[in-house]
Structure 1
């Protein structure tokens, strides 16, 4: 279920032009969900230090996360499961996640700024794709941080549920340690079976 912000909407906010930033984390890993976040920042309460989450240290992302949650006018993070990714492919899963994140905001924005070069078909508002937007638009930067921190925390929790893979360390990416564990243990329910090399091992019968 989406995580919704609870900030009360004032008359001033209702009259303002609301811009939502949208970004994802976790398109490339072999395991775990893709996280998609949408954020409407408050122009009256700027947040210092926003940037593409990949350019920030883990400590800096963790420090900015509660500031974004507290100061944003609205935010929503959704997780698209590995099962759905396998069923409709990672691109379509990401597009669906963007629509769900925007729909989950406490208030509908006038426009969504999407990181990347493509727009989902079913956006609930006008949209604009911005290549490299997570480093250019503060709202997209904020969304990238929420998505990254939320997914990283999810993968740390998954490590306790499925020990041995090292999810808390590599967050599901295809590191040598993860590939070795995958060959040794086989996939857990959160591995993306449509992704190479998981698919290759499954096709070869190595995992069963």
Structure 2
């Protein structure tokens, strides 16, 4: 073939699916720039293959349910059980059977940029999703575990169509009206639960940014309500805000 410029080769590697014949020709090209591009391309292909394999592994529970005739499989997860302030947020989501979002994982393992990008994709492509927010006042009345279950069940009940099978991250829910599975570390094992974790985490982070604007002293935008040193120092200095969970020990002690 006519020898392409390094710039043209770079463009082709970025934009097209490369044939094995073309890659073999590049391997015989002695230019250092071409070999550097080829190494970068091969590393990207290896990463892509790993991501595809991981996604397939995380789809096993959904595929198993589909094989049993369960067309609508929902994943449920929460964000915000541990913080000293703010709501607990739960999300439920039903993904289409052909859904593909490489890199999807437990929201805590994703960068903020990736979470926000995935948040948009999941909302756009989901068959249905529900998000439930339970404030600190309810958390103080019923305790954080019961509030988490309330949020999870409410998020699930928002789904239309109703799920035929539900995958839940580590919490048992009763009276769902369908079969369910509880998965330990489910946000790392199921794409549906991982998608729900992204919806819950991003929604809660947005809420904490709004609360931060109202009460900036506690630095909620950075700590998301968790008990960092600065946050605890501000609690001692200013006492709790209206968004603090008064049933949690560090907050209770600051009153």
TM-score by length of 1: 0.87
Q: What is the CA–CA distance in structure 1 between the aligned matches of 2:72 and 2:131, rounded to whole Å?
A: 18
Task: Output one character per residue of 1:10-42: Cα deviation in whole Å (capped at 9) or x when no partner.
Answer: xxxxx9611000000000000000010001011
| Structure 2: 5+ residue stretches without partners | 1-68
Q: Is the 8 A contact 2:187 2:194 kept in 1?
A: yes
Instruction: Identify the residue that residue 76 of structure 1 maps to in structure 2.
Output: 130
Structure 1 contact 99–124 (Cα < 8 Å) conserved = no
SS in 2 for 1:197: helix
| Equivalent residue, structure 2, for 1:130 | 183
Are 1:189 and 2:239 matched, yes or no? no
Partner of 1:143: 196
Q: Deviations over 1:28-76 (max 9, x none)?
A: 0000000100010111232222100111111111111100000111111
* 1:121 and 2:174 aligned: yes
Q: Is the 8 A contact 1:102 1:124 kept in 2?
A: no
Q: CA RMSD in A?
A: 1.3
Q: What's 1:92 paired with?
A: 146
TM-score, normalized by length of structure 2?
0.71
* Alpha-carbon contact 2:240-2:254 (below 8 Å) kept: no
Q: 1:200 to 1:122 in 2, by over 3 A?
A: farther
Q: Which has more radius of gyration? A: 2
Aligned to 2:101: 47
Task: Select the structure that is richer in helix.
Answer: 2
Q: Which has the higher contact order (CA 8 A, sep 6+)?
A: 1
Aligned length: 187
